[in-house]
Amino acid sequence: MKRLAIWIFYAIGALAIGYLALYAYVTFTGRDLRPGDPIHIFRRSDAPAYS
């Protein structure tokens, strides 16, 4: 039971670190993330279309 509690504690900590990393990414890049909007990370808006 103690081991399960430790794993749950680690999982909650990992989720918190992931949330803080996403918050830092949005803050420092100036992007406005809204639910439902596609995330364009690796494509520039002025990149040529090859299809």
- Assess if residue 6 is contained within a domain: yes
What is the value of pTM for the model shown?
0.52
Which domain covers residue 19, as residue numbers? 1-29
Q: Please, what is the average pLDDT of the chain? A: 81
Return the pLDDT at 28. 83
- Assess if residue 35 is contained within a domain: no
Tokens matching residue 17: 């670190």
What is the C-alpha separation between 47 and 41, in angstroms, rounded?
A: 13
Domain count, the chain: 1
Give per-residue burial for 4-36: e unless 16+ CB within 10 Å, then b.
Answer: eeeeeeeeeeeeeeeeeeeeeeeeeeeeeeeee
- Assess if residue 18 is contained within a domain: yes
- Assess if residue 38 is contained within a domain: no
**Is 51 a residue whose pLDDT tops 80?**
no
Return the pLDDT at 40. 62
Return the pLDDT at 26. 81
**Is 10 a residue whose pLDDT tops 70?**
yes
What is the C-alpha separation between 10 and 29, in angstroms, rounded?
A: 28
